Structure 1
Amino acid sequence: MLSSAVEPWERADEDEVCSNNFNGFVTGGSSNSFSRDPDYPKANLQSSQVSRCPIEDGVVHTSRWGTVSPGTVLAAIAAALEPQQVQISLLLNEPVQTNDTDKLEKFERYRQMTLLAQLHNTWAATLAGDLAEVAVYQGPRLKGDLYLGPGGTWNDTKIPRVHYMDQRNGGFWQMTDAEARGGIDGLILSGAVQSWKEQLSRLRLSQLLEMYYSDRGVNFDTQYRACERQARLAEIRETSDLLLIQTINFARVLSYKSPEAVQISDEKLEEFSSKALQAYNSHLSSLLSALHCNDPLPFPRVHLDVILDGTWTTYEAMQVLAYLAQEADVSYYGSSMAVMNGEDATWILRETHNASDLFSLRNNTENSSDVTWPRSLNLKLSLATFSSYLAERLAEQRRRNVIGGPSHVILVLGYTATISDRDHRESVQIISRFKQQNPDVRFVFLASNINHLRFKELSTIDPSYPDVTIALPDSKVETVVTKIIEIITTIPGRITGGYCDGSSTETRRNGFEGYVTAGFPLTYRIHPLYLEHSGDVTLTFQGSGHGNLRACVSRDRGSTGTDCSEVKNLEEMALKISSPCANYAYQCPPVYLTITVTNTLTRCTEDDCRYPDQVRFLLHQEGLRCTRNPYSADSDTDVAPRSNSDLTLHVILQTVSLVLISKLIARF
């Protein structure tokens, strides 16, 4: 990924991937769409002919900011952190062959040049270096009619694995569009990275790149983001004379040292360098077109467990999952994701925080019989398997006194699924039992306009925290993923009671750690079952020295609330909720806790910091109702005694009703 390379030769797949390649992204029509796979046998080159769409390696796909060469960006940042300016005469060796009069003449001329003939490593690593290649290698061959580019397109926007280049330039790709964007971005970042490094000594490269290639921008100066590269470049272009000088000096060194360079006079080198810069300025409009900035949006942060039905072909299913992982922010700092075959309840993908694991699904599918893809949906089997797996995971967390964090979401992709009465009835029982032990887990059922009512009945098992059914008119990737993200982004995190030690409420101070990003509050929910029959509940916050926070409690979803307290720097603060269910005769509502950054010192440097301006907190709770360990030998698996649990009563009534209805239907 750090080096740029082109695979130019014919591959025998051009008729398929090149024919409509530059009218938009290749979409393919085959249901077995592995034909889009770039892993062609590289040894089976058909001839020495150049392909109509050569493959460009060492580039990355960004969602809205064009294809970029990351090696160029990294080289610029490295150069900026160790700036060097060297006379070109120090980079040249005297020719060994004394009869090469042209080279001897150049050597003497360059050696006698003044301090103006210097190379700056940042310019050489970015635009000047690539423009010098254009001048040296294209100038003599194209007689000054120089070309920048080409651009290209990806095999697939959802699973981008290969970048096909346009071949209209006749095989000259000294400065591709991806390299040009990388040079621009690298030059922009190189001008500020040293200052940022002084402000935060442990600024990580991953933080810098993620902030720049996002809508939020670099927190030290939010004008530094890829969507504003045109404005930042305009500031740099005021030094266009310096770019020309650096291009000429690098071209001199390259022409002198490269065995592939055509030896020309220094005057011609200057002329071709000037024409390369002119070609670059003319090409900028296409490089910077279609750039626009959006307001930054919050990322979902959930443990997303997916049950997949047979709606999509294997490749289409991988598109759905890959796009879902991208939009759900599956990453070390964001969401996790697991995928189950909804037909036989086997794992397609075990839980991961790495979205790139989804790109290995294709290899796993072809090379292993262990990975199978569904053709239908066995809902009760999948729910039973997932419920057992997830219940054990949650139980282990609570045994370790981890009582808060992202919510768990079980996403059932059942767009074309049909559910029998028996399957439906047993699914109700499985979900009911599971929610008695883990009431914070959310189920999201994705269905069509035809079968959504069947899933709708499953989403109302817990009336205090109903699940979600999504009915969609089609199963297109964008339609499906956009709606799912819209739902799961609004799901708050969870705070629960721990396991009991002989009493019904928590006496120990169980807690967890969290990080809040400036401008993006965190919201947590405490389920009513942890509030019922409890006395006073105390939430204690410990600051970390990263800045100040405000913590607010509300009983209404969507409302921040007015019962707020400040957590300043390293101070400790307690929020007290007195008798949380005393004033509610029928049903005790949940508690919503919203944590907001009011001031950041931009000093979050530990490994768990996603951004430098995050603020860390420790939260402990006392007084929440505890639950008995459902995996101990003598435990009752209910969260509350049956006589006092609205959820349990509702489940019993609904299950009995479904049994009676099914018997009546059977009689007719």
Structure 2
Amino acid sequence: MHLDHRSPHHNNGAIPAPWELGLGTRHSYLVIEIVSMFWLAIILLAAPSCVRAQATAQTNVAPELRECYTDPRLLDRNNLPPATMPVLISIIQSIEDHPNARDFNLRQLSVLILQAFRQDGIEYHQPDSSIATTSNVMPFAPTFHSFYRNKLLLSRILPANLQNLANSTVNSTLKCALHRMFSTTVDARVRGDENKCNQLSQYRALRTARGLREHLLKDDFEMLDVATLNSAKKTGQMRQYNPNDEVDVSNLNNFDLSERQTLLLSQCPILDGVVSTRWGAVSAGNVIAGIAAGAQPQTIPISELARGSIINQPNIQSFVTALYPATLSGDLAEAVLIQNSQSGSQSISVGTAGSWNSTQAPRYFMIHAPNGLNNIEMTDPEMRGDIDGFVLGSSITTLLQSASQIRLSQVLDMYYTARNGVLDPTRRACNRQTLSQEVIPTANLVAETLAFTAVLDTNMPLRGTIIGGLEQPVNSAVTNFQSYARNNFNDLNCEFTESNTVDFRLRTNLYLVVDVSWPYQTIYPAISYLLDKIEVGKYGSSVTLLTAFDGSIVINKTFSLADFHSEYTLSRHQSMLGGINLETALTNIRLLMSSELDNERIVNYVGGNSTVLLFLLNTAVQSNVAAMEQARILNETVPDLRVLYASSTNQFDALWQLVRDMHNDVLTIALSSDGTNVERNMNSVVSRVELIGRRIINPTCGSDFPSSAKSGQVHFLDHVEPGYINYYSISPNYFYNYNDNSKVRITRSTAGVGNLVVCQSRSWSQPRQTNISVGAEQSDVVCQTIATSGTRDVEINLRGACGGHMTINSCPFFHISVQSVLPTTTTALTAVCTDRACRFPYDIRYQVQIDDFGCFSGCGSTTVSLTLLLFAFFYNLL
């Protein structure tokens, strides 16, 4: 078992030889024997962990990953979460929080994750039709070219690790999802759509599941011409989906394939190991490998990697730096060796375009390969992953010096975000094109690629024997990589990213009430889009799935995007009770919300996420008096709850009586059956949810709102990112009377760059210092500043805030914002937040304190109820 990758000349920390201690020969042999027995015992004790950790470097599918290829449920990727960066971060966060992994730091965890879940090159091998299928043979094995580079990476390049991740750290679904997102391979089997494979797509809805014999890939794809991809603007804009270009991938097993899938090859093979991000598809395994290699920098002698093989390449350096083969030189070496040995060409091609089967549920990434498997060794996602992994790996040691407790999920979250970056606004994915030219030294890349190409040549079987002359193809590969990275990516740049994203984070507890009459392939992309927009996650929003039949819970509240997608599958949707009963649903939901309020009283919950109840209706409903009464009670007894209705057709007449704001809370979402117009329709829902501020409440009120209950002086902690803003709303149910002592105090509790600005308004739900509103709304906004020094808090008095309003229901909410304002000269951010409550290490923590909030409820107002019922009665008569 190889335990140390350093040169023999580097004896750092090693036990000195006996003769170096001046011992005699006899004593020397005795010491040698003792030392040998000592190390043998250590190796034997460590062997189980090491063997398990290196299982993914073996020439068969790792035992812990085999269920991903034998369980039909896990083979169907529609039962796995979508391959997106937020989902990947969600799974990594669950690993970091698991008792099995909480003690691992970033250096250890990045290696352990790769060892546990990444096994490149696993291919499907069609059994010979003349041979009976046996139960002891699984038709998958790591035989694709990417396996050999990854084997070197896991066994000899990345730091050795005697620990392991217990198999119980994640469940089978998330384990297989990670494996698919990390492991690079190509499935080139013919699917029957090759006449249209000269086109690739960006936008397509989810497929529906079919028979188990079609479990590998049965999907419909929307296609987009490659010329459009190449000529697209640098902002990443693409044309809309054309239904006439639709292709059905449904004949995977109807062709006789060769042992290695080489007789019949798809022109648009499926590339595994890819994750969707806003800034292009990325090979996540290369990103994590770069972080792992950079977190523990080391150089490895090429003689150690060749393991006794003869390297017949003169004038190459005698070592490789781990970061290079883990990222850029790894894929470049593959391209050089395969293309040079197959064709003898000195010009090496890099870059292969492709796209996803779906925008909102990306699970299959197709590459454009009209010439079969030729020149696909360094695809666009691999190239992006290499650049991102190199950028992060080259800066990770500096990052760890300033933020030693930083977590792997935080690094990914900071890099793949719209603003701020990895403690440096220039280090983020939207700036990839510039970073690829500035951070990667050309001379080093050539030297490292040449050295690793010679090493990989001794480890990977080729179709010929290279007998020398690698300098020219290596130089060609590096030159073509730099040109491609500079000119061919159509990813969103930072300027476009910032101008097309909001500068606040949504945090809401979303309760989704779904009408099962929606076809799953129609409603699931819409839900997926909504959850991405409200940022369901550990530091953001939660989601609970309910049925419109009776309001019962289908999926319990979760802050994990990965867990929700794992549970909300086609079969789960089809198992939900059909039909809509608004009266029953609203009654049960009211009981659920009352229970939530009582639980908040128990834990003394002062504030946090907003609460939104969203009905997604596809069936025409009839609102009756009983349903209206339940809606009234729900709105009045749960004052912070905002109820929204979004239906496939205009149902305003049936729904307006059930909401607080009939002009804005009843929406129409005319979703197409194939889910291709999701963004255009769901943006109205997202915009409405965005306007609902986080809650500040009196925790003593519970669900019964006793008039004698007073909050006293209580508080909660919150965080804001540099340059971002948090919005809060306070219901008049907590400040209705004239109480001189009802106050809100915002106190800054950590350092950080820039000032905090606290604004307040009664009419503008999102008050800020640079308000875009005009007229009365703008004059209603009052702002105060908390500087980095001096006064550390702002006090807001709520005395008389409902003056002039006869009822609680007529008194508007009180809106507050906390905004981080950065100096225009800011070039770097400081890690000031080290506890696990911080999403990012540069978050600024502050305290929200309330004084003497009361409990005032309008639920007993018979006048309001009677007025509502009479109004509804006469309206329906008209």
User: Which residue in the other structure is 2:270 paired with?
Assistant: 55
Q: How many residues align?
A: 624
Q: Given the alignment of the two structures, is residue 483 of structure 1 paired with residue 599 of structure 2, yes or no?
A: no
User: Which residue in the other structure is 1:401 paired with?
Assistant: 604
User: Which residue in the other structure is 1:636 paired with?
Assistant: none
> Is the Cα contact below 8 Å between 1:255 and 1:262 reproduced in 2?
no
Q: Match for 1:470: what amino acid?
A: L
Q: Report the Cα distance in structure 1 between the residues aligned to 2:491 and 2:206, rounded to whole angstroms.
A: 31
Give the C-alpha shift of residue 361 in structure 1: 4.2
Give the C-alpha shift of residue 21 in structure 1: 5.1
Q: Given the alignment of the two structures, is residue 443 of structure 1 paired with residue 643 of structure 2, yes or no?
A: yes
Q: Report the Cα distance in structure 2 between the residues aligned to 1:402 and 1:376, rounded to whole angstroms.
A: 36
Q: Match for 1:153: what amino acid?
A: S
**Higher alpha-carbon deviation: 437-446 or 477-486:** 477-486
Q: Given the alignment of the two structures, is residue 23 of structure 1 paired with residue 199 of structure 2, yes or no?
A: yes
User: Which residue in the other structure is 1:263 paired with?
Assistant: 465
Give the C-alpha shift of residue 323 in structure 1: 1.7
* CA distance 1:120–1:559, change in 2 (3 Å): closer
Q: Match for 2:627: what amino acid?
A: S
Note the residue ranges of structure 2 that are not aligned, 5 or more in a row: 1-116, 127-186, 219-251, 769-780, 823-828
Counterpart selection for 1:595 from 818, 837, 842: 818
Q: Match for 2:439: what amino acid?
A: I
Q: Report the Cα distance in structure 2 between the residues aligned to 1:509 and 1:302, rounded to whole angstroms.
A: 25
Give the C-alpha shift of residue 488 in structure 1: 0.8
Give the C-alpha shift of residue 285 in structure 1: 5.3
User: Which whole-Å deviations, capped at 9, do the CAs of 1:96-123 have from their partners, x for residues lacking one?
Assistant: xxxxxxx4xx46x76xx68x43311112
> Is the Cα contact below 8 Å between 1:492 and 1:523 reproduced in 2?
yes
Counterpart selection for 1:322 from 517, 521, 528: 528
Q: Given the alignment of the two structures, is residue 511 of structure 1 paired with residue 725 of structure 2, yes or no?
A: no
Give the C-alpha shift of residue 325 in structure 1: 1.2
Q: Given the alignment of the two structures, is residue 566 of structure 1 paired with residue 786 of structure 2, yes or no?
A: yes
Q: Given the alignment of the two structures, is residue 342 of structure 1 paired with residue 548 of structure 2, yes or no?
A: yes
Q: Report the Cα distance in structure 1 between the residues aligned to 2:122 and 2:758, rounded to whole angstroms.
A: 54
User: Which whole-Å deviations, capped at 9, do the CAs of 1:328-366 have from their partners, x for residues lacking one?
Assistant: 211111111122222354444322212223432465x43
User: Which residue in the other structure is 1:69 paired with?
Assistant: 283
User: Which residue in the other structure is 1:78 paired with?
Assistant: 292
Q: Report the Cα distance in structure 1 between the residues aligned to 2:354 and 2:802, rounded to whole angstroms.
A: 65
User: Which whole-Å deviations, capped at 9, do the CAs of 1:135-158 have from their partners, x for residues lacking one?
Assistant: 122212111153334333322221
Give the C-alpha shift of residue 72 in structure 1: 0.9
SS in 2 for 1:412: strand
Q: Given the alignment of the two structures, is residue 545 of structure 1 paired with residue 759 of structure 2, yes or no?
A: no
Give the C-alpha shift of residue 222 in structure 1: 0.7
Q: Report the Cα distance in structure 2 between the residues aligned to 1:57 and 1:660, rounded to whole angstroms.
A: 61
User: Which residue in the other structure is 2:318 paired with?
Assistant: 117
Q: Report the Cα distance in structure 1 between the residues aligned to 2:869 and 2:750, rounded to whole angstroms.
A: 52
Q: Report the Cα distance in structure 1 between the residues aligned to 2:193 and 2:593, rounded to whole angstroms.
A: 43
Q: Report the Cα distance in structure 1 between the residues aligned to 2:848 and 2:203, rounded to whole angstroms.
A: 48
SS in 1 for 2:275: coil
User: Which residue in the other structure is 1:654 paired with?
Assistant: 868
Q: Report the Cα distance in structure 2 between the residues aligned to 1:223 and 1:243, rounded to whole angstroms.
A: 22
Counterpart selection for 1:276 from 473, 477, 482: 477
Q: What is the TM-score normalised by the length of structure 2? A: 0.65
Counterpart selection for 1:231 from 434, 441, 445: 434
Give the C-alpha shift of residue 402 in structure 1: 0.6
Q: Report the Cα distance in structure 2 between the residues aligned to 1:555 and 1:229, rounded to whole angstroms.
A: 43
> Is the Cα contact below 8 Å between 2:748 and 2:786 reproduced in 1?
no
* CA distance 1:352–1:19, change in 2 (3 Å): farther
> Is the Cα contact below 8 Å between 1:3 and 1:58 reproduced in 2?
no
SS in 1 for 2:427: coil
* CA distance 1:485–1:257, change in 2 (3 Å): same
Give the C-alpha shift of residue 394 in structure 1: 2.1
Q: Report the Cα distance in structure 2 between the residues aligned to 1:146 and 1:128, rounded to whole angstroms.
A: 13
* CA distance 1:5–1:163, change in 2 (3 Å): farther
* CA distance 1:55–1:468, change in 2 (3 Å): same
User: Which residue in the other structure is 1:456 paired with?
Assistant: 656
SS in 2 for 1:532: coil
Counterpart selection for 1:469 from 642, 660, 666: 666
User: Which whole-Å deviations, capped at 9, do the CAs of 1:237-275 have from their partners, x for residues lacking one?
Assistant: 5x3222111111111112234344743223x22233223
Q: Match for 1:328: what amino acid?
A: I
Counterpart selection for 1:380 from 580, 583, 589: 583
Q: Match for 2:833: what amino acid?
A: C
> Is the Cα contact below 8 Å between 1:60 and 1:69 reproduced in 2?
yes
Counterpart selection for 2:354 from 144, 152, 172: 152
Q: Report the Cα distance in structure 2 between the residues aligned to 1:217 and 1:585, rounded to whole angstroms.
A: 44
> Is the Cα contact below 8 Å between 1:380 and 1:426 reproduced in 2?
yes
Q: Report the Cα distance in structure 2 between the residues aligned to 1:140 and 1:192, rounded to whole angstroms.
A: 35
Give the C-alpha shift of residue 641 in structure 1: 8.0
Q: Match for 1:513: what amino acid?
A: L
Q: Report the Cα distance in structure 1 between the residues aligned to 2:354 and 2:792, rounded to whole angstroms.
A: 55
SS in 2 for 1:611: coil
* CA distance 1:31–1:426, change in 2 (3 Å): farther
User: Which whole-Å deviations, capped at 9, do the CAs of 1:417-454 have from their partners, x for residues lacking one?
Assistant: 3222xx43222111111122111100111135632232
Q: Report the Cα distance in structure 2 between the residues aligned to 1:641 and 1:342, rounded to whole angstroms.
A: 25
Give the C-alpha shift of residue 27 in structure 1: 7.0
* CA distance 1:394–1:30, change in 2 (3 Å): closer
Q: Percent identity?
A: 25
Q: Report the Cα distance in structure 2 between the residues aligned to 1:330 and 1:5, rounded to whole angstroms.
A: 33
**Higher alpha-carbon deviation: 218-227 or 495-504:** 495-504
SS in 1 for 2:320: strand
Q: Report the Cα distance in structure 1 between the residues aligned to 2:188 and 2:625, rounded to whole angstroms.
A: 54
Q: Report the Cα distance in structure 1 between the residues aligned to 2:288 and 2:567, rounded to whole angstroms.
A: 29
* CA distance 1:21–1:403, change in 2 (3 Å): farther
Q: Match for 1:243: what amino acid?
A: L
Q: Report the Cα distance in structure 2 between the residues aligned to 1:495 and 1:307, rounded to whole angstroms.
A: 25
**Higher alpha-carbon deviation: 423-432 or 13-22:** 13-22
Note the residue ranges of structure 1 that are not aligned, 5 or more in a row: 96-102, 628-638
Q: Match for 1:291: what amino acid?
A: L
* CA distance 1:87–1:311, change in 2 (3 Å): same
Q: Match for 2:318: what amino acid?
A: A
Q: Match for 1:562: what amino acid?
A: V
User: Which residue in the other structure is 1:626 paired with?
Assistant: 855
* CA distance 1:138–1:380, change in 2 (3 Å): same
SS in 2 for 1:218: coil
> Is the Cα contact below 8 Å between 1:127 and 1:183 reproduced in 2?
yes
User: Which residue in the other structure is 2:763 paired with?
Assistant: 556
Give the C-alpha shift of residue 509 in structure 1: 2.1
User: Which residue in the other structure is 2:804 paired with?
Assistant: 584
SS in 1 for 2:269: strand
Q: Match for 2:795: what amino acid?
A: L
Q: Report the Cα distance in structure 1 between the residues aligned to 2:794 and 2:367, rounded to whole angstroms.
A: 60
Q: Report the Cα distance in structure 2 between the residues aligned to 1:252 and 1:275, rounded to whole angstroms.
A: 16
Q: Report the Cα distance in structure 2 between the residues aligned to 1:165 and 1:402, rounded to whole angstroms.
A: 50
Q: Match for 2:443: what amino acid?
A: D
